[in-house]
Structure 1
Amino acid sequence: MTRVAAIDCGTNSIRLLVADLPAAGGDAPLVDVVRRMEIVRLGQGVDRTGRLAPEAIERTRVALASYAAQIRELGATRVRMCATSATRDAANAGDFRAMVVETLGVEPEVVSGDEEARLSFTGAVRGLAAEPPYLVVDIGGGSTEFVVGESTVEGAISVDIGCVRMTERHLHSDPPTPAEVAAATGDITAAVDRALAAVPGREARTLVGLAGSVTTVAAIALGLSEYNPSRIHHAVVSYDAVAKVTGDLLAMTTAQRLEIPVMHPGRADVIVAGALVLRVIMERAGMPAVVASEHDILDGIAWSIQPTP
Structure 2
Amino acid sequence: MVGRSIRSFPIPLTPMRLATIDIGTNTAQLLVAERDGTELRRLHTAERFVRLGEGVDARGRIGREAQGRLLDALRDHLQEARTYDVDRVSAAGTSALRDAANRDAVLASVRDALGLSVDLLSGTEEATWSFAAARAAFDDRSGACLVVDVGGGSTELIAGAAPGQTRSSPAEAIRDHASLDVGCVRLTERCFASQPPSPGAVTTAAQVVDEALAARAPAVGDAPVLIGTAGTAAALALVHAGPASTWDALHDNGLVLSRKDVRDWRERLLGRSVDGILELHPEAMAGRADVFPMGVILLDRTLAHYDLDDLRVSPYELRHGLALRLLASAPASPS
TM-score of Structure 1 vs Structure 2, range by shorter chain:
over 0.9
**Alpha-carbon contact 1:68-1:103 (below 8 Å) kept:** no
- Name the stretch that deviates more: 273-282 or 106-115: 106-115
2:25 matched to which residue of 1? 11
Identical columns (%): 33
Long gaps (5+) in structure 1: none
1:238 alignment partner, one of 251, 255, 258: 258
Deviation at 1:256, TM superposition (A): 1.1
- Matches of 2:187 and 2:235 in 1, distance apart? 17
Change (3 A) 1:205 1:231: same
- Matches of 2:314 and 2:208 in 1, distance apart? 26
- Matches of 1:139 and 1:104 in 2, distance apart? 29
Deviation at 1:164, TM superposition (A): 0.1
Deviation at 1:214, TM superposition (A): 1.0
**Alpha-carbon contact 2:92-2:119 (below 8 Å) kept:** yes
Indicate the RMSD between aligned Cα atoms, in angstroms.
Answer: 1.5
**Alpha-carbon contact 2:234-2:315 (below 8 Å) kept:** yes
2:157 matched to which residue of 1? 146
Deviation at 1:40, TM superposition (A): 0.8
1:300 alignment partner, one of 318, 321, 325: 321
**Alpha-carbon contact 1:64-1:103 (below 8 Å) kept:** no
**Alpha-carbon contact 1:220-1:245 (below 8 Å) kept:** no
1:291 matched to which residue of 2? 312
**Alpha-carbon contact 1:119-1:300 (below 8 Å) kept:** yes
- Matches of 1:52 and 1:21 in 2, distance apart? 35
1:163 matched to which residue of 2? 184
Deviations 1:90-130 (A, max 9, x none): 01112210222134423111111111000100111124133
Task: Please list, as runs of the form range in 1=range in 2, the aligned pairs for 1:67-106 lying within 5 A after superposition.
Answer: 67-106=77-116
- Matches of 1:77 and 1:156 in 2, distance apart? 32
Supply the AA of the counterpart residue of 1:277.
Answer: L
- Matches of 1:131 and 1:288 in 2, distance apart? 17
**Alpha-carbon contact 2:196-2:270 (below 8 Å) kept:** yes
Deviation at 1:202, TM superposition (A): 5.8
1:136 aligns with 2:156: no
Higher relative contact order (CA 8 A, sep 6+): 1
Change (3 A) 1:58 1:237: same
Deviation at 1:273, TM superposition (A): 0.5
Paired residue secondary structure (2:280):
coil
Deviations 1:107-160 (A, max 9, x none): 111111111000100111124133432100110000011111114212111111
Change (3 A) 1:76 1:139: same
- Matches of 2:268 and 2:60 in 1, distance apart? 33
1:256 matched to which residue of 2? 276
Deviations 1:56-100 (A, max 9, x none): 010111111011112222111111111000000101112210222
Deviations 1:169-215 (A, max 9, x none): 1011221001100110000011122232xx22363520000111111
Supply the AA of the counterpart residue of 1:45.
Answer: G
Supply the AA of the counterpart residue of 2:18.
Answer: V
Give the TM-score normalised by the residue count of structure 1. 0.94
Matched residues, number:
302
Supply the AA of the counterpart residue of 1:185.
Answer: A
- Matches of 1:175 and 1:295 in 2, distance apart? 31
**Alpha-carbon contact 2:195-2:274 (below 8 Å) kept:** yes
Long gaps (5+) in structure 2: 1-14, 164-172
1:56 alignment partner, one of 66, 84, 96: 66
- Matches of 1:295 and 1:69 in 2, distance apart? 23
1:113 alignment partner, one of 112, 123, 140: 123
2:7 matched to which residue of 1? none
Deviations 1:233-269 (A, max 9, x none): 4201100001001100000111211211244221110
1:207 aligns with 2:226: yes
Give the TM-score normalised by the residue count of structure 2. 0.87
Deviation at 1:283, TM superposition (A): 0.5
- Matches of 2:131 and 2:208 in 1, distance apart? 25
